[in-house]
Amino acid sequence: MTTAPRPTPGIPRDYAFPAIERSQLSNGMRVAVAHLPRLPLVTVLALVDAGASCDETGREGAASLTISTLGEGTTRLDGATLTEKFESLGTGLMSSNDWDDATTHIAVTPERLESAISLLGEVIRSPAFAERDVARHKAQRLAELMQQQVEPRGLADDKFAEFLFVPGSRYALPEGGSMASVRALDTAQLRALHVARYVPGATTLVFAGDVANARAVQLAERAFGEWNGAALPPAKVDDRVIDSGRRVHIVNKAGAPQSELRVGHGGVPRGHPDYFAIVVMNALLGGLFSSRINLNLRERNAYTYGARSAFEWRRGAGPFMVSTAVKTEVSEAATREILIEIGKMREEKVSADELSLATAYLDGVFPIRYETTNAVAEAIAIAQVYGLGDDYYTRYRERIRAVTADDVLRAAQSFLHPEKLLVVAVGDAAAIREPMEQLGAGSVSVHEAPAEDGAPA
């Protein structure tokens, strides 16, 4: 049995975020390189300004469908052959998008880099968008939406956005689009989106790993040099929220043993100057395991397996949202505790001890976040998308340490709005409707799980 005294930490060793070398090809494409020769591995990430935010009204899901179909063949190679070529190099082409960008990345050993990047260039520049592949990916997105009707977590997230943002806001619909919008998409629209948005002026190629800058730039030039096009202005999303005060929406899942709860309101854009204060405030409210909301709902009341809060960072103002799943019987009690914790955060300054829980964690964990070539490449991409500047990662830790208890209180008072909270519960309406009406969190309306649009065809 240990009787050793509680240890104190030693002196921290220095850590520097990898240096980023930047250049630009003559066609306007940006190249960013972090040379990390530790292991024989290179991540190459093509970042294109073609996220879901650029979808036109009525064509929601086009950006997602474009990036997911992109790897299904080029004008020279059919999808099966292309996939086989990548995978024989030991890498799968991983493509995804979020609201503000579309990315395609590969991770390969250095001796396979040249072959892999030339294939990557072909994929980005001259995808085939064969009718059959587009139709298949459309059908897969529709299958996903169909399955989501009985998958409470994803359903709760999507319903929260639908009830939060004004009708017509791109943010009111899922990134991948709705049943109606996806059904309406066709190959010509994807091709048009690709021609307009997938251009060198809107693309950054990020290398992280065992490749030197000169070699990386040379490979980029070879794979992407003969390509032209200037960037369109970035898409602007209407991020206004429905301003109708507190309200509760129940999405019925008859007989569900748990309610998936989402509680929140509109948030702030990623470029907001109070970003660091908001991050620290949210860590204390619900971002950390030892946060107020998680300790209350999980460790004190045992209502849930876990509860968290988050500001979703986008170019526009994404949602602020508390998420948890609680036993049906305690749906009202758990929601009440969430409302109390949000309110308390605004009422008084956090103690120095509590503040340091978040600042010490965010400061200390920084080097642990960037162990892999993928993580470094993604970090460089995020800085590019949001224009965070080259000193962002070198200054991150000092800026976290500079956040004070006053900053946290001001962030809570400015960016948490108890009077505007929207509550969405996906659960058994027969069991939770009445208790939720007692909550005093506004009017309660009940919705059946998607029927009109989501009905099985």
User: What is the full DSSP assignment across 143-193?
Assistant: HHHHHHTT-HHHHHHHHHHHHHBPTT-GGGS-TT--HHHHHT--HHHHHHH
Among 374, 392, 417, 446, binds another protein (CB under 8 A): 374
Does 107 engage in binding with another protein (CB under 8 A)?
yes
Print burial letters for 13-51: b (CB count within 10 Å at least 16), e (below 16): eeeebbebbeeebebbbbbbbbbbeeeebbbbbbbbbbb
Considering only the stretches 9-17, 184-192, 225-233, 270-278, report the one whose residues sit in contact with another protein under the rule CB under 8 A.
Answer: 9-17
Among 166, 214, 365, 430, binds another protein (CB under 8 A): 365
Does 451 engage in binding with another protein (CB under 8 A)?
no
How far apart are CB 417 and another protein at their closest, in Å? 28
| Per-residue binder mask for another protein (CB under 8 A), 31-70, x = binder | -------xxxx-----------------------------
C-alpha atoms less than 13 angstroms from C-alpha of 63 in its C-beta half-sphere: 26
303 three-state secondary structure: coil
Among 22, 191, 247, 327, binds another protein (CB under 8 A): 327
Does 402 engage in binding with another protein (CB under 8 A)?
no
Structure tokens at 123: 């994929």
CA 262 to centroid of chain Cα atoms: 17
275: nearest Cα among 146, 382, 202, 435: 382
| Per-residue binder mask for another protein (CB under 8 A), 143-182, x = binder | xx-xx-xxxx------------------------------
Does 220 engage in binding with another protein (CB under 8 A)?
no
Among 274, 310, 366, 431, binds another protein (CB under 8 A): 366
C-alpha atoms less than 13 angstroms from C-alpha of 313 in its C-beta half-sphere: 15
User: Residue 380: what residue type?
Assistant: I
Q: What gap in Å lies between CA 68 and CA 81, rounded to an integer?
A: 17
How far apart are CB 430 and another protein at their closest, in Å? 16
Q: Which is nearer to another protein, 148 or 181 (CB)?
A: 148
The helix (H) or strand (E) run that includes residue 202 is none
How far apart are CB 2 and another protein at their closest, in Å? 5
Does 287 engage in binding with another protein (CB under 8 A)?
no
How far apart are CB 97 and another protein at their closest, in Å? 18
User: Sheet of 102-108: strands edge to edge?
Assistant: 21-24, 30-35, 203-209, 42-48, 102-108, 94-97
How far apart are CB 300 and another protein at their closest, in Å? 8
Number of residues that bind another protein (CB under 8 A): 78
Q: Which is nearer to another protein, 195 or 365 (CB)?
A: 365
Considering only the stretches 23-31, 46-54, 103-111, 434-442, report the one whose residues sit in contact with another protein under the rule CB under 8 A.
Answer: 103-111
